[in-house]
Amino acid sequence: MSLRTDLYADITGFLVAKCDADPDEISEESDLYYDIAIDSLDLVAMTQTLQGAYDISMDDERIGSVRTVGDVLDLAVSKIETKATA
C-alpha cells in the first residue's frame, strides 16, 4: 500500500469510530464540518493520532485551516515527506 492509501485508511477509520461517519460516504472531498460533522476536539484528536502514528508535527495554524478529508491527507503526506528528506 502507498503512504497516501495508508493515511486515508487511518483518517477514515478515525472518522468512522469517533464521528459515527458512514465509511461509504467519506471521500477526499468530504467537508469535515458539514459532511462529517467533526467538532474541534475530534479534529485535534485526529491530528494528534496521526502525529503519534507517523512521528510528525502539525502546527495548530495549519490544522485550523483544513476543511476537507483531502486537506488533512495532504497536510499529513507533506509533513511525512518533508521529514523523510530532512
Instruction: Answer whether residue 86 shows pLDDT above 80.
Output: no
Entry pTM? 0.92
Q: Among the residues of 28-68, which ranges form H helices?
A: 40-54, 60-64
Instruction: Answer whether residue 1 shows pLDDT above 80.
Output: no
Cell representation of residue 12: 477514515
Per-residue pLDDT of 32-67, as tens digits, reads 999 999 998 999 999 999 999 999 999 888 888 999
How high is the mean pLDDT of the chain?
Answer: 93
What was the pLDDT predicted at 84? 84
What was the pLDDT predicted at 39? 93
What was the pLDDT predicted at 25? 94
Backbone φ/ψ region at 55: left (φ over 0), alpha (ψ -120 to 50), beta: left
What spatial distance separates the first Cα and last Cα of the chain, rounded to whole Å? 23
